[in-house]
Structures are given as structure tokens and as C-alpha cells.
Chains A and B, each alone.
Chain A
Amino acid sequence: MWNMIFGEILILIGVIFLFLGSLGVFRMPDVYNRLQAGTKCTTLGAFSTIVGVGIIEPSWFLKSLVIAFFLLLTNPVAAHAIGRASYKMGVKLTEKSVVDQYGEEKDE
């Protein structure tokens, strides 16, 4: 009984974070800020949803922990690859940006 409630709370938190993540992708001004919202919120959202499912169904708990762990390890790598690729493609930073030391390095 209690594991049902606790698991569903975790899933609810995960869904809220996933929603905020997609809202962030919609509102942010450029690729890099969108990636910020995208990676952080989807990682924790998916993590929390998967662990919540594991708590509702105790025989899946360890499996879901392993899946969540791999997600934690691979999701940032994907974000890093997208960010680097779009910088090399020449996608500009937003006009609000204050500093770009990566670009300065390249010009030298």
C-alpha cells in the first residue's frame, strides 16, 4: 500500500519535471540554453519515473535502478555531443550572452 503511494508520488514528480523541461525547450532563446533545460529536466524526470515504477513493483526495483544509472551516465554525453556539434556548425549564441571564451580560443 505505502509503496504504491510513494511510487506514484515519485512518478508525479518525474512527470512535472518532464513538463518543465519541455516548457524550457519552448521558452529558451538559443540551442545551448535549450539543451540546459532539456538535459537536466529530462534526466531527473526519467530517473524519478523509472525509480517510481520500481518502487510500485518491488521485484523490478534493482533492474530499474540499473536502467536509471545507465541513463544518468549516457544522457549528459548526448547533450555534450549535440552542443559541441551545433557550435562547430556555427550556431550563434543568443544576444543576451556575456562571454564566449570557446570562440576566442579558436580565433587565435
Chain B
Amino acid sequence: MKNISRWLYTAIIMFILWVIFTGKLDSEELIAGVVISLVLALFTYRYFTEKGLLNLTPKKIFCGIIYFPYLIWEMIKANLDVAYRVIHPKLPIKPGIVKIKTNMKSDLGKLLVANSITLTPGTFTLDIKDDTLYIHWINVQTTDTEEASKAISGRFERCLKRFLD
């Protein structure tokens, strides 16, 4: 039962991608898309998803839609920050590697947290061991694990937790 839900979920995502990439809504294209995505999903669902159709509850879709513009906004701030440091003649950086803890349990959650950290102001993820993330921080404000966690990943985790669990 669970595998069928995983399979259908993968097929739905693939079908949406098919429609976007072909850019047509003819019945022939759509039928070919359904067949191809069902067959491909059969081979790939075990690598693609663990929860299957449970990922498609309205609450999660809503959180995903909220999260995406928020990430873009953080990216713009990150870029202005880096641009300022690059242009400034004295190169005002104070780099270092700190470790932080994450509350995310699933692999997908850790991936999203690590990616978001990389894309936001002054930080990028160097390594992950279990629930510890090693972060290269271009402007170190604190070396304490708790405080650094709050400053770097706190904002994302609040949103991502609702999105994933």
C-alpha cells in the first residue's frame, strides 16, 4: 500500500514536469505523458520519496509556496551582503568554522536546511554528521553552538518543520 502511494506520488511529479516541458495540452501528449511517467516512476520511486502521497496535503503545499519566496528574499539579502564585502576596499571579513545543531530528522529535511544555509547571508555548509552541521561563517558573531544555531538556521527550521513533518 505504502509503495503504491510512493509510486503514484513520483508519477504525479513527473507528469507535472512533462506537461511543463512539452508545453502542449493535446490529448495525445497527455496520454503519452501519463504512460511514460507511470513506467519511469515504477523504477525510480524508491530513490525519490519515502512518504508518498502524504507529501501532498494542502498544509504542506501551502508551506512550500510560502517558503519559496522567503528563500528568494533571503538570497537577495545574501547577495547584497557579499557584494558589499567584495566591493569594500578593506574586505571586512572575519571567517571561521562553527558547528550548529539541527532538529530535522529526515534526510530531505537536512538537505533543505543545508541548502538554505548555503544560500543565505554569509554562511555555507561544509559537512554534516548526524545532527551536527559544520558551517563556514564569513562574519563570526558567536562560537557558542546554541546561539549560532539560533542565528543561522532558526528561521528556516520553523518553516521547514511544518513543511516536512
Residues of A in contact with B (beta carbons under 8 Å apart): 17, 20-21, 23-24, 27-30, 32-33, 35-37, 39-41, 43-44, 47, 59, 62-63, 66, 72-73, 76-77, 79-80, 83-84, 87, 93-94, 96-103, 105
B99 within 8 A of partner (CB): yes
Find the B residue at minimum CB distance from A23. Answer: B86
Residues of B in contact with A (beta carbons under 8 Å apart): 17, 20-21, 23, 71, 75-76, 78-79, 82-83, 85-87, 91, 93-99, 111, 114-115, 118-119, 122, 124-127, 134, 136, 138, 140, 143
- Contact (Cβ within 8 A) B125 A96: no
The 7 closest A-B pairs by CB, nearest first: A76-B118, A99-B96, A24-B86, A76-B115, A102-B134, A102-B97, A98-B96
Q: How far is the CB of B108 from chain A (nearest CB, A)?
A: 11
CB neighbours (8 Å) of B76 from chain A are: 44
Q: How would you classify the secondary structure of chain A's contact residues: helix, strand, loop or mixed?
A: helix
With known contacts A32-B136, A40-B75, A72-B119, A99–B82 Cβ distance under 8 A:
no
- Contact (Cβ within 8 A) A98 B126: no
Find the A residue at minimum CB distance from B86. Answer: A24
CB neighbours (8 Å) of A44 from chain B are: 75-76, 78-79
Find the A residue at minimum CB distance from B126. Answer: A83
Given contacts A80-B125, A96-B93, A101-B99, 6 further A-B contacts (CB under 8 A): A33-B95, A36-B122, A44-B76, A73-B115, A76-B114, A77-B115
Query: Taking each of A36, A47, A76, A99, which has the highest tally of chain B beta carbons within 10 Å of its own beta carbon?
Result: A36
Q: How far is the CB of A14 from chain B (nearest CB, A)?
A: 10
Q: How far is the CB of A4 from chain B (nearest CB, A)?
A: 21
- In the assembly, what is the distance between CA of A96 and CA of B93, in Å? 8
- Pick the contact of B99: A17, A30, A102 (CB < 8 A): A102
- Contact (Cβ within 8 A) A40 B20: no
CB neighbours (8 Å) of B127 from chain A are: 84, 87, 102
- Contact (Cβ within 8 A) B82 A41: yes
- Pick the contact of B82: A29, A37, A62, A66 (CB < 8 A): A37
Cβ contacts A to B, 17 pairs, < 8 Å: A17-B79, A20-B82, A27-B91, A29-B91, A39-B124, A40-B79, A40-B118, A44-B75, A59-B23, A66-B21, A76-B114, A79-B124, A84-B126, A96-B93, A99-B98, A99-B143, A105-B134
- In the assembly, what is the distance between CA of A36 and CA of B82, in Å? 8
- Contact (Cβ within 8 A) B125 A43: no
Find the B residue at minimum CB distance from A37. Answer: B82
Find the A residue at minimum CB distance from B129. Answer: A105
- Contact (Cβ within 8 A) B118 A63: no
